[in-house]
Structure 1
Amino acid sequence: MTYRLFEGKGHAASYWKYRISPSDHLIQQVFDFLEKHKGRPFELAVDVGCGSGQGTLLLAKHFASVVGTDVSPAQLEVALQHAKEPNITYRQCLAEELPFADSSVDLVTAMSAFHWFDRPLFLQEAHRVLKPHGCLAMLNYTVDMELSYPDCCSCTLNQICKEFYAALQPYRSPHLGVSSIQLYREAYESIPYPDKDWQECVWDRKRMPLSSYMGLVESFSSYQALLRDDPQRATTLSQDICHKLMSEMKATSADTEVVVAVKYFLLLACKPQEA
């Protein structure tokens, strides 16, 4: 069963506001893999665990039809508010019970979502709905993001960030294990397809206000767990980290822009032609 941790309306709104999307360069690797192994036309893409739909939007211009699925009505409500492209629709369903016919989907994606699924069941379901030569793309980023700011020591900034991550570690869901990257690596090894690819370290750098970086970390399940357990402690922790970063940057506003380096990992697999 999919873990249901992101269903509050406030959390869904913060997802849309702060969660990052894969860069054009990263998502292009998915399309290049699909082009190589299946070829055009690209008819139907399904983005599973789509949340508030940032990743779903990236697929729209490449496919005749794109469907984002999620278990959370609140997340889908936010996604619908921002779905301007006429070829995007959304469906509420479990990741392990997709409402699509056998061998009907060109591309199944799961962007920062697979780790919350019943992983073996989802992989079986993805295999069922994919066309022969259809592709599965699963990507995620690690929590250890790195900050940089002009004329400021990145090592010091990132030591402060590590304090933030360390304080949240006890609130990390046990479903994720020690490292979510290991879950994806194990999934890659378990997929029996001959054509597959695993990339463990793809850096993506994004410029954003410091307040957006703070909001991004606050949207993590571990911070949300702390917030539910001890709201005052969560708020104080976030404020203290923000003040420390601003002090080191000699910045007077949390709107000051920083560069956030995010480390992605990527799993690509092509379903073989079946007998």
Structure 2
Amino acid sequence: MAGFGHLFRNQASHYAAYRPTYPSELYEVIYSFAKLSSYDAALDIATGSGQAAAVLANKFQRVVAQDQSTQQLEEAVRLPNIEYSHSRAEQTGLPDSSVDLVTVAQALHWFELPVFYKEVRRILRPKGAFAAWGYDLCEFKGNAAANAALESLYNGTLGPYWSERRRLIENQYKGLEPGPEHFGEVKRVILDTMTAEMSVTALIGYLSSWSAYATYREQHPDLPDPLIKFKEAYKAAYGFTSDGEKATLFWPLFVILAKDPEPLD
């Protein structure tokens, strides 16, 4: 596939401002599994606005963060030990055996995986590790009407405008794990700790970062904004009277972890 960066170019600022923050438990699971001997360098692929890269920068001396979208990189958080670059996942341009950890947040479904995994093995150091994670559609616990409004937007109005690869997210990346030709040990973990309290304004900002919403608006600029209808239904479901009122969102978070097992003594 030529690339996917164009799907996020027009809503890069909303992506940076409103996407949910990954819980600290996620990184604890990654580090516990990896058992890295060095925290010299990490590579965050399809970094977007640098959300994961900024957390990795607290652990690693150097973080390389790459993305196909120049608009996303322009919005990315700046830290002295993060190096941003425009690159495809399958062609990182990094030297052989140069990083200790490779991460991919909410983007593995866009890659040409056989080529990508070969590239990951090329740039990983011998005791390095790989982690990829994603999250499916959020939900509002205990509010059926709000969930119904979201479902109508996601699968109804925007349903035809999602890339087919979105279904890989819905299937929690099952079947996308690297095979034994790439890594000797592969593990899947499901976390239920990804939540965010969002105002109505923030929720609409988050939904406007969806690739399907951007595609819909590009193809139908003369039609009403579907987020207007959703917003009305959502506020009614909660009885909200202002856009500043908040509700808690929950996302199922799934993680693929891979490395080579430690040799037996």
Alignment TM-score, normalising by the size of structure 2: 0.91
Aligned-pair identity in percent equals 27
1:194 aligns with 2:184: yes
**Equivalent residue for 2:17?**
17
Q: What runs of 5+ residues in structure 2 fail to find an aligned partner?
A: none
- Residue 219 of structure 1, aligned match among 191, 209, 212: 209
Q: 2:108 maps to what in 1?
A: 114
Partner of 2:151, secondary structure, is helix
Match of 2:6 in 1: 5
Q: Does 1:140 align with 2:145?
A: no
Rate the CA distance shift 1:183–1:28 in 2: closer, same or farther, 3 A.
closer
User: 1 or 2, which has the higher helix percentage?
Assistant: 1
**2:257 alignment partner, one of 244, 268, 275:** 268
- In 1, the alpha carbon distance for the partners of 2:130 and 2:174 equals 14
* C-alpha contact (below 8 Å) 1:5/1:221 kept by paired residues: no
Q: Distance in 2 between matches of 1:91 and 1:229?
A: 30
| Helix, strand or coil at the partner of 1:188 | coil
Amino acid at match of 2:210: F
Aligned-partner Cα distance in 1 for 2:256–2:14: 27
How many residue pairs get matched? 260
For structure 1, the residue ranges without an aligned partner over 5 or more in a row are none
C-alpha RMSD over aligned residues: 2.0
Distance 2:172 2:229 in 1: 32
Supply the distance in 1 between the matched residues of 2:81 and 2:188 (Cα, whole angstroms).
Answer: 30
Contact 1:132 1:272 in 2 (8 A): no
Letter aligned with residue 27 of structure 2: I
List structure 1 runs of 4+ shifted beyond 4 angstroms. none
Q: Distance in 1 between matches of 2:13 and 2:109?
A: 21
* 1:156 and 2:140 aligned: no
What whole-Å deviation, never above 9, does each CA across 1:91-120 have from its counterpart, x for those lacking one? Answer: 111111112111111000000111112222
1:104 aligns with 2:94: no
Contact 1:223 1:234 in 2 (8 A): no
TM-fit CA distance, 1:7: 5.0
DSSP-derived class of the 1:262 partner: strand
Once the two structures are superposed, the pairs formed by residues 1-275 of structure 1 within 5 Å of their partners are 1=1, 2-6=3-7, 8=9, 10-35=10-35, 38-39=36-37, 41-79=38-76, 82-83=77-78, 85-143=79-137, 145-148=138-141, 153-166=142-155, 167-174=157-164, 176=165, 178-182=167-171, 184-188=173-177, 190-192=179-181, 193-200=183-190, 202-233=192-223, 235=225, 237-271=226-260
Aligned-partner residue type, residue 4 of structure 1: G
Question: Per-residue deviation at 1:123?
Answer: 1.1
CA contact (8 A) 1:146 1:260 kept: yes
Is the CA contact (8 Å cut-off) linking 2:188 and 2:256 kept in structure 1? yes
> For 1:140-198, what per-residue CA distance to the aligned partner results, in whole angstroms no more than 9, with x for missing partners?
1012x1124xxxx5122211111111221111112x06342547221216354232211
Q: Is the 8 A contact 1:210 1:257 kept in 2?
A: yes
